[in-house]
């Protein structure tokens, strides 16, 4: 059997240095090799013209139905504005104990909140969202530890409070699963 990998798919332009960091984060936290794949999927069918946003549930389903056989997990990153019906926007979404997750930089940008652009901060936020969403695919639930990357985040400030790592308790749960 071929080695199982976590596949990181990126749609749209992401700086190579940022992608490299995400790959390193995933490998460090989940101890599984990562394959980086550039994608040019047409996601226009997931655009909701009334909300001017993309339907994250449908997008996640689409990613989930297009994973390779060697992909243990697939995480896809985007630049578009994502929503689910009950929320104004989301940073990311994943199937609990599933195979796939998605994340977007759109709502992570300082500019969305009237602040000056900050590339480094933006990349850090995205890296945290990716590690967080992957955690859900591995069966991790939201963690009460304020520093843990599995803590839930409603606002970008919440993401900034977290560290870019799983706490010991979450790491232990991963090892047991």
Nearer to Zn ion, 39 or 174 (CB): 174
- Nearer to Zn ion by Cβ, of 24 and 141: the residue is 141
Q: Is 15 a catalytic residue?
A: no
Least Å from the CB of residue 58 to Zn ion: 19
* Among 72, 48, 67, 68, residue whose Cα is nearest residue 58: 48
> Which positions touch Zn ion (CB under 5 A)?
143, 145, 148, 150, 167, 170
- Rank residues 43 and 150 by Cβ distance to Zn ion and give the closer one: 150
Sign of CA pseudo-dihedral 59, 120, 144, 112: negative
- Could you tell me the smallest distance in angstroms from the CB atom of residue 49 to Zn ion? 28
Q: Which one is catalytic: 15, 29, 111, 133?
A: 133
d(CA 95, CA 53): 20
Residue 108: DSSP 8-state: G
CB 142 within 8 A of CB 154: no
Please tell me the distance from the alpha carbon of residue 130 to that of residue 164, in angstroms, as a whole number. Answer: 10
Write phi, then psi, for 76 (nearest 5 degrees): -115, 130
Closest distance of CB 163 from Zn ion, Å: 10
To Zn ion, the closest distance from the beta carbon of 40 in angstroms equals: 28
> In the chain, where does DSSP find H-type helix?
16-30, 56-64, 119-137, 156-161, 168-176
Q: Which residue's CB is nearer to Zn ion, number 39 or number 98?
A: 98
Bridge pairing between strands 53-55 and 71-78? unpaired
8 A C-beta contact, residue 5 and residue 70: yes
For the annotated catalytic residues, the residue numbers are: 133
């Amino acid at each position: 059997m071929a080695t199982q990998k976590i596949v990181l798919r990126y749609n749209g332009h992401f700086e190579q240095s940022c992608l490299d960091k995400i790959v390193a984060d995933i490998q460090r936290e989940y101890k599984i090799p990562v394959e980086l794949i550039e994608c040019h999927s047409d996601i226009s069918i997931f655009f909701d013209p009334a909300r001017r946003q993309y339907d994250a549930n449908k997008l996640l389903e689409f990613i989930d139905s297009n994973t390779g056989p060697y992909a243990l997990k697939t995480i896809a990153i985007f630049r578009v504005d994502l929503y689910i019906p009950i929320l104004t926007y989301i940073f990311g979404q994943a199937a609990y104990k599933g195979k796939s997750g998605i994340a977007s930089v759109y709502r992570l940008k300082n500019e969305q909140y009237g602040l000056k652009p900050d590339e480094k901060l933006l990349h850090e936020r995205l890296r945290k969202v990716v590690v967080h969403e992957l955690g859900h695919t591995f069966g991790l639930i939201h963690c009460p530890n304020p520093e843990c990357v599995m803590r839930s985040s409603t606002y970008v400030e919440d993401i900034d409070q977290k560290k870019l790592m799983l706490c010991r308790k979450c790491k232990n749960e991963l090892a047991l699963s």
